[in-house]
């Protein structure tokens, strides 16, 4: 289905609430947003959220504002200044482009918005081209960059990968760029699956090494044979991760590894406990801002 128009929601927050808003939007499955520094008030930022109009009837928009207000209230910030505009696809693309430039991740990766030429100074980087569309995964969120940095550390040559919650496809594309031979990408949002496929094509010109599945991971594992993966990449919220750890183990081959992201610092210990209980050995824990990424290995 093609998205024609977008709702644009804007409001102000104190700058220190940015991470909390990102966390809430992530939880609500909202991926297109930006923060703008206000020149007249350096302590505040403008939040701009774009929502595909077909998926956001009035009732859901009212609920969204209520959700955001609740989060802000809890953090002692009161506002009623929420402004809605309806904008056309072309205007959304130009708004979005204004906020997005090339981004270096880890030692060697460069995330490049598809409408930009590769800047000369980044010619030696491994480039991942992304058209952000309506799916999560531009590389700028700590949960994504933590996964990308983990991927840089491991040898993926000829490996079989499962990407659970592929969003824009950014991790699948990185895995292929690092030499993985077969990538299976799962997402329960059709916009994300479209985005994974079109971004994969944008980078490699074809979908030869990619297989996509639309649906929830727990439903798909019982329907298809998803087994013997060398690596599983899973950047989903901790609440979802908790319920799928045993299935993740079943999908890994012995010695295979899972990279889990989307976990808040406060949720780390509980996830580590669940991983150990499923016979998954913790190999690495890295963190950025409030977020943690855990790498665990299937032991016999
Ligand atoms: C935080 S985004 C991650 C996107 C991308 N992999 C990245 O690292 O930037 C999580 C994605 O998981 C998908 N998702 C959430 N729960 C899921 C589930 N149970 N099964 C499959 N996909 C799921 C969402 O639609 C979303 O695209």
Q: From the CB of 212, is ligand 1 less than 6 Å away?
A: no
Considering its fold, how many domains does the chain have in total?
Answer: 2
In a domain? residue 294: yes
What average pLDDT does the structure give for the chain?
Answer: 91
- What confidence score (pLDDT) does residue 244 get? 97
Q: State how far the Cα of 128 lies from the Cα of 139, in Å rounded to an integer.
A: 10
Q: From the CB of 135, is ligand 1 less than 6 Å away?
A: yes
Tokens 């009161």, located at residue = 78
Report the binding-site residues for S-adenosyl-L-methionine. Answer: 144, 165, 187, 235
If you take atom 25 of ligand 1, which residue's CA is the nearest one? 189
pLDDT band of residue 1 (cuts 50, 70, 90) is very low
Instruction: Give yes or no for residue 134 having a pLDDT over 60.
Output: no
In a domain? residue 29: yes
pLDDT band of residue 290 (cuts 50, 70, 90) is confident
Q: Does residue 203 share a domain with residue 258?
A: yes
Q: Is there a contact between 13 and 47 (Cβ–Cβ < 8 Å)?
A: yes
Instruction: Give yes or no for residue 107 having a pLDDT over 80.
Output: yes
Q: From the CB of 244, is ligand 1 less than 6 Å away?
A: no
* Distances, alpha carbon 112 to alpha carbons 140, 170, 174, 224, 295, in Å: 11, 11, 12, 34, 26
Q: What share of the chain is helix, strand, coil (3-state, %, to 5)?
A: 40, 30, 30
Q: Which domain holds residue 283?
A: 133-298
What tokens were used for 126? 């491994």
Q: How many angstroms is it from 79 CA to the middle of ligand 1?
A: 30
Q: State how far the Cα of 166 lies from the Cα of 263, in Å rounded to an integer.
A: 16
Q: From the CB of 167, is ligand 1 less than 6 Å away?
A: yes
Q: Does residue 192 share a domain with residue 292?
A: yes
Q: From the CB of 165, is ligand 1 less than 6 Å away?
A: yes
pLDDT band of residue 133 (cuts 50, 70, 90) is low
Q: Does residue 175 share a domain with residue 274?
A: yes
CATH number of the CATH domain containing 235:
3.40.50.150
Q: Does residue 45 share a domain with residue 165?
A: no
Q: State how far the Cα of 228 lies from the Cα of 217, in Å rounded to an integer.
A: 16
In a domain? residue 116: no
User: Can you say how many angstroms the Cα of residue 142 is from the centroid of all Cα atoms in its chain?
Assistant: 9
DSSP 120: G
Runs of H (alpha helix) within the chain:
18-27, 58-74, 89-98, 142-153, 170-177, 190-204, 217-223, 238-251, 268-277
CATH number of the CATH domain containing 71:
3.30.70.260
What tokens were used for 132? 């952000």
Give 21-75 pLDDT, tens digit per residue. 988 887 787 878 888 878 788 789 999 998 988 889 999 999 999 999 999 999 9
Instruction: Give yes or no for residue 135 having a pLDDT over 80.
Output: no
Atom from ligand 1 closest to the CA of residue 26: 1
Q: State how far the Cα of 92 lies from the Cα of 146, in Å rounded to an integer.
A: 28
If you take atom 20 of ligand 1, which residue's CA is the nearest one? 216
Closest CA to 5 of 96, 85, 113, 97: 85
């Amino acid at each position: 289905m093609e998205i024609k128009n977008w709702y644009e929601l804007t409001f102000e927050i104190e700058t220190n609430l940015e991470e909390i808003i990102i966390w809430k939007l992530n939880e609500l499955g909202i991926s297109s947003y930006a923060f703008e520094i206000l020149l007249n008030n350096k302590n505040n930022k403008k939040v701009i959220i774009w929502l595909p109009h077909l998926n956001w009837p009035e009732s859901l928009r009212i609920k969204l504002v209520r959700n955001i207000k609740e989060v802000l209230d809890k953090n002692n910030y009161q506002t009623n200044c929420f402004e809605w505009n309806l904008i056309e696809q072309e205007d959304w693309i130009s708004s979005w482009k204004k906020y997005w430039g090339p981004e270096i991740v880890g030692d060697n990766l460069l995330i490049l918005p598809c409408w930009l030429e590769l800047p000369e100074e980044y010619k030696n980087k491994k480039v991942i081209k992304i058209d952000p569309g309506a799916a999560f995964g531009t590389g700028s969120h700590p949960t994504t960059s933590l996964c990308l940095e983990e991927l840089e550390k491991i040898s993926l040559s000829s490996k079989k990968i499962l990407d659970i919650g592929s969003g824009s496809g950014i991790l699948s594309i990185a895995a292929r760029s690092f030499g993985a031979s077969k990538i299976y990408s799962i997402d329960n949002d059709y916009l994300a699956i479209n985005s994974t496929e079109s971004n994969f094509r944008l980078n490699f010109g074809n979908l030869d090494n990619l297989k996509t599945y639309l649906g929830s991971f727990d439903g798909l594992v019982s329907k298809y044979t998803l087994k013997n993966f060398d690596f599983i990449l899973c950047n989903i919220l901790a609440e979802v991760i908790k319920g799928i750890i045993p299935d993740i183990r079943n999908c890994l081959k012995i010695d295979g590894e899972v990279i889990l992201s989307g976990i808040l610092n406060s949720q780390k210990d509980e996830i580590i406990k669940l991983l150990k209980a499923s016979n998954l050995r913790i190999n690495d824990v890295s963190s950025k801002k409030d977020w943690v990424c855990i790498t665990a290995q299937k032991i016999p």
